[in-house]
A and B are shown apart, each in its own frame.
Chain A
Amino acid sequence: MHAATQLIELGAIVLALGLLGAVAVRFSISPIPLYLVAGLAFGSGGILPLGASEEFVSLGAEVGVILLLFTLGLEYTAGELVGTLRTSAPAGLADLVLNAAPGVAVALILDWGPVAAVALGGITYVTSSGITAKVMGDLGWLGNRETPAVLSILVFEDLAMAAYLPILTALLAGASLVAGATTLGIAAATITVILYVALRHGRLVERFVTSPTDEVLLLKVLGLTLLVAGLAQQLQVSAAVGAFLVGIALSGPLAHTARELLAPLRDLFAAVFFVFFGLHTDPGQLPPVLGVAALLAVAGIATKLTSGWVAARRAGVAARGRLRAGAALVPRGEFNIVIAGLAVSDGVNPRLGPLAAAYVLMLAIAGPLIARGVEPFIRWRGIRPSRTRPGAARDEHAVPRPADGVADDRVDGQEDVEDVEDVEAVDRPPAPGRH
């Protein structure tokens, strides 16, 4: 009868997630906080404790993290990552210092020890790129001038995660300084090799993965990702980072197809992961940490607003856009829970899990609301746009009206971008009789 119980429980969980997802869509909020709540409800000390399907859920959670990171890696090309590092490192570093500080400070003040401080710093630092990108798309902000700055921050954060997760894994394993340094060396070497392969020999990877049918492609990509993730885990680099790097190594049309194929799987297993985290958090533990979580949430909003302000100002954007950039960066979600999950499974501090859960719940819900409210706030406060023309390419060039018979203006530099056809500015045809 054990199998039957498992099926019943699993079915109940997934169905409940579906219903919650419908609620999330109805109110156009991110489903992540709802999944966490579902996990809290089903978990130990919740209203409906489950027991039988623990094993499957924990493996599913593992796969969920890997797929989350893999699809995140697919979003970027190696070229974009390197380019972002070159151009927006100052803003990215400011974002890191500003946002990790409250977490580190709170952990130290509460006397949780340095390892918990590193974990909590990571939890308060990372923006949820998934929620942010969706909110910006929903609000029609993609064309805004501050958007590239915001996206660069997200890329920088994801790269920072690729370096941070191995460090955290080493610290949690209680590795000595020497062992930790070795781990980091291995991690750095792995990341470098994968980036090098992706940048220089992307063709080889693609040739290996290219498949006659979608079915074959799905199996190949999923197998490769899980395999690399497992090997990375073996090398103490953390499975998530391995998966992220596989995603980066794939680019172009292939990445696009892979993303479409894996999206449903990722959605399922990522939901299982959030539930799993909730299952392991005792709702009874939440009230004692609510105060601290609220404090951190307020600090987290303030620091992200500052980060966005700084990044947008560097891009030459006026006050309105700077506020929008900050608001877009507020949501926290996937990565924060991934970090908390790692820390909790290694038993850093029993309070850390509930604190992270409460923090993410608050900011995953507050973030999109703040983003929606920022434009009305600007209008209410009457923040005037600057009449000047910010932006790099605007000031130096006056824009002449095309006179008759001006030669075609070509937009060049298109070659390095996939899927974007050449753009040709077509001039007026000249008067006849003029070759």
Chain B
Amino acid sequence: MDVERTSLPGIGLRHVFTTGRGRQIGVVSHRTGRRDLVIYDKDDPDTCVVSVALAAEEANAVAELLGTGRVVERLAELNRQVEGLVTEQILLTAASPYAGRRLGDTRARTRAGASIVAVVRDGEVIASPRPDFEFRAEDVVVVVGTDEGTAAVATILHGG
């Protein structure tokens, strides 16, 4: 997916991309924090037919619906698909021995048989973190596995 970034002097930035089905959508980011969601004409890539101005909070809400929500939704779907599989969201407190250490150090898969599939940090989802990913306090760790497995990961992260 290519995102085309253009600067708009005096206004801010514009990001545009083309979906797999050939529709163009974009976001105009104003310096004031305002965001315009723009959707282009089917036949004319120069012209936007819809432009919705969003305040900073509204833009965040839309981003959340499009982004974070998706991940959680997919995980819920996985739960339904696979019998006996659960998703846990574990808050990593500052007291955890793994705050500031790497994901690989937890050896969660080997020790507990559950997988860390995502980390939510400051409202952003970091999908499929690698073993060298470094945890911070206040991260929310998303774990998928069996009931016992996820509970065991929670124990590990809490310093058990």
A interface list, Cβ under 8 A from B? 75-76, 80-81, 83-84, 129, 133, 140-148, 151-152, 154-155, 256, 317-318, 320-321, 385-387, 389-394, 397, 399-402, 408-409, 411, 413, 417-420, 423-430, 432-435
Do A84 and B45 touch (CB < 8 A)? no
Do A432 and B145 touch (CB < 8 A)? yes
Do A435 and B109 touch (CB < 8 A)? yes
Do B4 and A391 touch (CB < 8 A)? yes
20 sampled A-B residue pairs with Cβ under 8 A: A76-B10, A80-B10, A142-B36, A143-B51, A146-B46, A148-B6, A321-B46, A385-B47, A393-B2, A394-B4, A394-B45, A397-B2, A399-B1, A401-B20, A409-B1, A417-B12, A425-B3, A426-B71, A430-B127, A432-B85
Known: A76-B10, A399-B18. 5 other contacts (CB 8 A): A140-B38, A140-B48, A391-B4, A425-B3, A432-B115
Contact of B111 with A by CB under 8 A: no
Q: Give A144 to B14 CA distance when docked, in angstroms.
A: 10
Contact of B75 with A by CB under 8 A: yes
Q: Which of A145, A385, A423, A429 contacts B128 (CB 8 A)?
A: A429
Interface residue stretch chosen among B90-98, B117-125, B152-160: B117-125
Closest 10 CB pairs of A and B: A143-B38, A385-B44, A140-B51, A143-B48, A401-B20, A321-B46, A145-B46, A75-B10, A432-B144, A393-B4
Contact of B84 with A by CB under 8 A: no
Do A80 and B118 touch (CB < 8 A)? no
B110 CB → nearest A CB, Å: 11
Contact of B138 with A by CB under 8 A: no
**Do A420 and B8 contact each other (CB < 8 Å), given the known contacts A143-B48, A429-B118, A435-B116?**
no
Among B26-69, those with CB < 8 Å from A are 26, 28-29, 31-33, 36, 38, 40-41, 43-48, 50-51, 67
Do B127 and A389 touch (CB < 8 A)? no
Do B10 and A129 touch (CB < 8 A)? yes
Do B1 and A434 touch (CB < 8 A)? no
CB-defined contacts of B78 to chain A, threshold 8 Å: 432
Q: Which of B18, B71, B103, B145 contacts A429 (CB 8 A)?
A: B71
Q: Give A390 to B118 CA distance when docked, in angstroms.
A: 38
**Do A419 and B10 contact each other (CB < 8 Å), given the known contacts A143-B36, A429-B118?**
no
CB-defined contacts of B118 to chain A, threshold 8 Å: 429
Nearest chain-B residue to A424 (Cβ)? Answer: B124
Do A426 and B125 touch (CB < 8 A)? yes
| Size category, B interface | 35 or more
CB-defined contacts of A434 to chain B, threshold 8 Å: 115, 128
**Do A425 and B48 contact each other (CB < 8 Å), given the known contacts A143-B36, A148-B8, A155-B10?**
no
Nearest chain-B residue to A136 (Cβ)? Answer: B11
Do A418 and B31 touch (CB < 8 A)? yes
Q: Give A426 to B63 CA distance when docked, in angstroms.
A: 11
**Do A151 and B9 contact each other (CB < 8 Å), given the known contacts A320-B44, A430-B117?**
yes
A257 CB → nearest B CB, Å: 11
Do A426 and B67 touch (CB < 8 A)? yes
Do B46 and A144 touch (CB < 8 A)? yes
Nearest chain-B residue to A410 (Cβ)? Answer: B3
CB-defined contacts of A148 to chain B, threshold 8 Å: 6-9, 14
Contact of B70 with A by CB under 8 A: yes
Do A399 and B2 touch (CB < 8 A)? yes
A69 CB → nearest B CB, Å: 14
Do A420 and B13 touch (CB < 8 A)? yes
Do A154 and B127 touch (CB < 8 A)? no
CB-defined contacts of A409 to chain B, threshold 8 Å: 1, 3
Contact of B101 with A by CB under 8 A: no
Do B145 and A154 touch (CB < 8 A)? no
Do A142 and B28 touch (CB < 8 A)? yes
A238 CB → nearest B CB, Å: 22
Q: Give A399 to B45 CA distance when docked, in angstroms.
A: 15
Contact of B5 with A by CB under 8 A: yes
A424 CB → nearest B CB, Å: 6
CB-defined contacts of B15 to chain A, threshold 8 Å: 411, 423
Q: Give A418 to B5 CA distance when docked, in angstroms.
A: 15
Q: Give A417 to B50 CA distance when docked, in angstroms.
A: 26
Contact of B131 with A by CB under 8 A: yes
Nearest chain-B residue to A430 (Cβ)? Answer: B128
**Do A142 and B51 contact each other (CB < 8 Å), given the known contacts A394-B45, A419-B33, A430-B128?**
yes
Q: Give A426 to B10 CA distance when docked, in angstroms.
A: 29
Q: Give A155 to B10 CA distance when docked, in angstroms.
A: 8
Q: Which of B38, B41, B109 contacts A142 (CB 8 A)?
A: B38
Q: Give A86 to B143 CA distance when docked, in angstroms.
A: 50
Q: Which of B10, B12, B115 contacts A435 (CB 8 A)?
A: B115
Do B46 and A385 touch (CB < 8 A)? yes
